[in-house]
A and B are shown apart, each in its own frame.
Chain A
Amino acid sequence: MKAFEYAAPTTVDAALKLLGGPNAAALAGGTDLLGRAKDYVTSPDRMVYVKEIKELDGITGDAKSGMTLGAATSLSEIVHHAGIREAYPALWQATSEIGSIQIRNMSTVGGNLLQRPRCWYFRAGFGLLGMKDGESLVRAGDNRYHAIFHTDGNALFVSPSSLAVALIALDASAKVRGPKGERTVKVEELYRVPKHEGESELTVEPGELLTQVTIPAAGKNGAYEARQKQAQDWPLVMSAVNLTMEGETISKARVVIYGVAPIPWRSEAAERVLVGKKFSPEVAAEAGTAAVEAARPLSMNAYKVPMTRAVVKRALIRAVQGKGYWEEA
């Protein structure tokens, strides 16, 4: 880790001032940033600690009018929040499966959303796209954990945030404050597919702070995750869904998938299958199948195709029916 300066402001204004210099970074739980700094993937000259800023902390609101999460709210607070568990099971399930107790105690909403990809080429110092001499190391190398969508480009990593997938399904928006003022964006707009090395996959600019996330009232929602280990592990594929029902019929559907693309992947194909239909496990299965129709896996990750199909189906069943057919065979 390169030496850096440190400050721990207690107001957003002070923090923005401190973040104004070149190569400064916000430090929240540090679970992503400090690892990257130790690996010299990111070497800020200054870290501005945001967890002492009271206005960034806490959960407010209710299920009817929506809820707001401060950016420095810890993931544990989400897991312990009965209202969230009740109103936003997708968020609750996704969050409670992130890392471990230690990780959830330390890490924050803002940090989770703005963490950088775990792609092992990126973390080994080959850049976000993992290119060497104009060739993609990822494409020719070991891409078992990489994307199955958007694979015609060079951004083959997968977006790392479990929280983003749930929040996008829930149609949440984020407030971002910077030297030029404040803007509100949809959580999905925090992400983009970088076109070249040097472009970030995040739209929050250096010097800006994510201050809060607001979730509107939600429909039937839930999440499902597939992973190798039961104990602390990353999802291989995860999906969060949110269905607005009119009577028995699905009037609006949001299906978002983790682990398949360089951005949290919104599956419009799956959503199209759902809208206008009565929910049934068969419809959920159809949506799962539709979700992977356009998948173009890399050399080592074709397994993610059947996995995604199942995960989307199960997230839908869980959202609507609670317990699923796969539990306790």
Chain B
Amino acid sequence: MAEWPASPSVIGKRIPRLDGLLKASGKAKYPSDVHPKGLLFGAMLYSPHAHAKVKSIDTKAAEKLPGVKAVLVIAGPGTTLRYHGDDIAAVAAETEEQARDAIRAIKIEYEVLPHVVTEAQSMAEGAPVVFKGGNVKKGRSQTKGKPEDTMAGAAATIEATYTVPMITHVCLETHGLTVGMEGEKKAIAWASTQNVYGIAGDLAQALELDRGDVTVYTEFMGGGFGSKFNADVWGTTAAKLSKMAGGRPVKMFLDREQEHCAAGNRPSATAHIKMGADREGKIVSVIAEGHSTGGVGNGTNMILPYVYRGVPHYSVGQSNALTNRGGSRAMRAPNHPQSCILTEAAVDDLAEKLGMDPLEFRLKNLDPGSPITPIYQAEIPIGAELIGWREKRKPRGKTGTGPIRTGLGMALHTWGGGGNPGKQVSCTIHPDGSVDIKTATQDIGTGARTILAMIAAEMLGLQPTEINSLIGNSSYPPGQPSGGSTTTPTMAPPCYDAVTKARDALFKKVASAFNNARPEDLSLKQGQLWAGGEPVASWKEACRKLGTSPISVTGEFVEGLSSTGVGGCQFAEVSVDLETGEVKAKKIVAIQDSGLILDLLTWESQVYGGVIMGLNYGLFEEVVMDPTSGRMLNPDMEWYKLAGASDIPEIVVRAYSPPDEKGRQVIGVGEPPTISTAAAIGNAVSNAIGVRVTEWPMSPRNVLNALATASREGRS
């Protein structure tokens, strides 16, 4: 079995990303930046209605407008449009202004149909249906033991309904691509995607070409978070428009409104939860019934109870309510953030009911059968120390007398991650000493490009900056789509394999040139070739011995370098203004295990980024669907709220990495750190104000409503 070097010189260090200066100087060309010769600008026409039938569509006027080169109808007469933002037609024109004019010149007659955009509307008796067969689909239900009986005998129980809204990915670079034909038989595209390899196939299919005839580049891309795996209707449409316009390249990127409405969402989740514990503080029973909507796509697959899987008795039912809104897509740790909020809120409330410290309560209820349990047991005290749990935390509601209250909360999370076989990386060592690493994966901001270079540098005794890390090209050896925190654990092993094999081949070829050394005697470090403990040549000199033929090796997945399954815990300190309902995050502590860390600098960035995304989920974000018009009311970046610099608290990030953690190899950290932040924030708010805010985000409205309800009911 392969093994990472025991005392690495590059791996685990803080290495600034290789393309960082290109990005920070504005010189990096994103797919939305490229400007190939003859470029036309595309624009999409999308549905203003939540539900409608296209009665007729007339593009004549649009075609005659100046600059318009191609018009394509996607939803012809008779087509049902199922959400605000659903695709109808597209154009390509000489200027973007002209393209937008042309879109508006397309005349459409709609038959507007009744819609359902909220869960309540969707689930109502006799509601209009989104698809034939009804709106409500039963999801995974599970029963273990005798939850009802046990609940009845529990020493303490809680019962509440917790709700998390739908959010969207808000990739800053919207979905889209620039695509053109080279002659009849070849196409070239620059796509903003998490799947440069796969998109080539999508486009080939749309253009009726072979996969190899389409080259897709993704040198840089402006965020995906799970929503950018396919070419999508707009992408294939752009390819067709290019073909119609004689092969001229077409740039097609969604506008922000359609991006919000049609390019994916994280489904909402609501669950009515009963939870009971015995006198010792062991959760004995959970009864939960949940529902969610992911628009025309899947709802949340709620994992209830989350983390605390050792609960002896539970029954969980859930349903997905289809609505007239664009479909859900994977979003950073699909299903986990919702499941975490729902479970951790109930767990916190139950601890409160029992009068127990919620931290102790959690420790008591960790699943004895889970391999992650010892990790939680080690992480929780570290986090508690860093947030000041013992000194600062007061019992719920006993947080002072002024209008500004501070509170502490925590939550746990888990994630799989891990690598998969089947992908390849090539390594070429050139006689001039340059090294190329190639694979058709992409860097979605995680630092994948840098990590491949670091692995190669490590194995060759070089610096990462001396490696050409070539990714984002579909014609390279098949690489991993960036999803599920799998990119690094999937790509690291074949990279290791390719580089080690290339190195060994180099040794074989050049050994004789150095005092007739045997290949086994050679090693590489500090930019030198060593033979029997002595440096004998610089890297470049060694490579020169290759003469005219470079070494090129393709590496495959090898066992032993990556694994799966992580746990983490997060703590939040917030202040809440009881009079205005304003919530400020003051401090967040994230303890994350993630096996062997390759680049500590980008690893930390990933965790900070995950926490901040979770902070947004906890405090700001929500899709607002209008029950009356059926439209999304905030398809912008003004009423769809995201944190700015002044909203960012002190964030303390710690890798949980005792020596045996490294033995767990590379795992991947894209998703786990975003899971539990919003839950911890919600719990901290409840701790601060003495009342559970059952609806996320912790907006002034939700906080003041919770306070008002409590005072009406005489609870506060």
Contacts and interface: CB of A to CB of B under 8 A. Distances in A.
A245 interface: no
A8 interface: no
Contacts of B33: none
A231 to B, nearest CB: 2
A314 B581 CA distance: 14
A250 interface: no
B626 A137 contact: yes
A329 B700 contact: no
Contacts of A141: 626-629, 633
B611 to A, nearest CB: 17
A231 B579 contact: no
B579 A326 contact: yes
Given A229-B647, A303-B705, A329-B400, A124 B579 contact: no
Interface in B435-478: none
Contacts, number: 111
Contact of A228 (B97, B700, B705): B700
Interface string A296-329: 0000111100110111001000000000011001
B403 A326 contact: yes
Contacts of B581: 226, 303, 306-307
A135 B628 CA distance: 10
Interface in A219-245: 226-234, 236
Interface residues of B, number: 42
B647 A230 contact: yes
Given A303-B701, A306-B704, A329 B402 contact: yes
Contacts of B645: 231
B198 to A, nearest CB: 34
Given A226-B582, A303-B708, A144 B644 contact: no
A3 B628 contact: no
A232 B704 CA distance: 22
B579 A137 contact: no
Interface string B680-709: 000000000000000000011100110110
| Most-contacted residue by chain A among B100, B579, B631, B647 (CB, 10 A) | B579
A120 B631 CA distance: 10
B579 to A, nearest CB: 4
A3 B647 contact: no
A303 B641 contact: no
A17 B707 CA distance: 56
Interface residues of A, number: 39
Contacts of A40: 104
Contacts of A301: 701
B526 interface: no
Given A140-B627, A226-B700, A124 B644 contact: no
Contact of A310 (B579, B624, B646): B579
A124 B261 CA distance: 14
Contacts of B403: 310, 325-326, 329
A3 B101 contact: yes
Contact of B628 (A132, A227, A302): A132
Given A303-B708, A310-B579, A231 B628 contact: no
A229 B708 contact: no
A140 B700 contact: no
B482 interface: no
A248 interface: no
A325 B402 contact: yes
B634 interface: yes
Nearest to B631: A124
Interface string B66-108: 0000000000000000000000000000000100110010000
A88 to B, nearest CB: 24
Contacts of A310: 403, 577, 579-580
A229 B644 contact: yes
A245 B707 CA distance: 36
A303 B578 CA distance: 12
Nearest to B575: A329
A306 B704 CA distance: 8
10 smallest CB-CB distances across A and B, nearest first, come from A231-B644, A310-B579, A329-B404, A303-B704, A230-B646, A141-B628, A226-B580, A120-B633, A231-B646, A303-B701
Given A137-B626, A141-B629, 14 more contacts: A3-B101, A121-B626, A121-B629, A121-B633, A142-B627, A228-B620, A228-B641, A230-B644, A232-B644, A234-B638, A300-B701, A303-B581, A307-B700, A310-B577
